[in-house]
């Protein structure tokens, strides 16, 4: 089939598969895979540097690591709250349960 378009003849193939260039698609796939690998590597390096900076913010006092962002009193308050819950749970577990007969 031939068409005249702007005084030029354009010939169309009847098979749509004859227009596919597998070599082009293969190179495109390889390029996209390479870009994905490079982006993954750069993101991993970014996360590594971010964590490394966070570890540098820690201070050492003797053999102990002290974190500047968490206060000791706040941790103590939370631990006391869990200790009180543990005591309450132990009291409930150790107390004798009242016998209730569902048939009555």
| Secondary structure letter of residue 67 according to DSSP | -
pLDDT band at 21 (very low <50, low <70, confident <90, very high): confident
pLDDT tens digits, 49-85:
998 887 776 666 666 666 556 778 888 999 999 999 9
Residues 46, 38 contacting (CB under 8 angstroms): no
The model scores a pTM over 0.85: no
Q: What pLDDT, on a 0 to 100 scale, did the predictor assign at position 31?
A: 95
Percent above pLDDT 90 for the chain = 35
Strand partners, 66: 59
Q: What pLDDT, on a 0 to 100 scale, did the predictor assign at position 15?
A: 59
pLDDT band at 11 (very low <50, low <70, confident <90, very high): low
């Amino acid at each position: 089939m031939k068409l005249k378009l702007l005084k030029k003849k354009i010939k169309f193939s009847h098979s749509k598969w004859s227009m596919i260039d597998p070599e082009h698609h293969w190179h495109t796939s390889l390029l996209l895979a390479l870009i994905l690998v490079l982006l993954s590597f750069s993101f991993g390096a970014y996360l590594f540097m971010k964590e490394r900076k966070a570890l540098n913010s820690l201070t050492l006092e003797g053999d102990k690591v002290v974190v500047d962002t968490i206060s000791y009193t706040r941790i103590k308050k939370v631990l006391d709250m869990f200790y009180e819950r543990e005591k309450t749970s132990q009291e409930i577990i150790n107390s004798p349960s009242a016998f209730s007969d569902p048939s009555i």
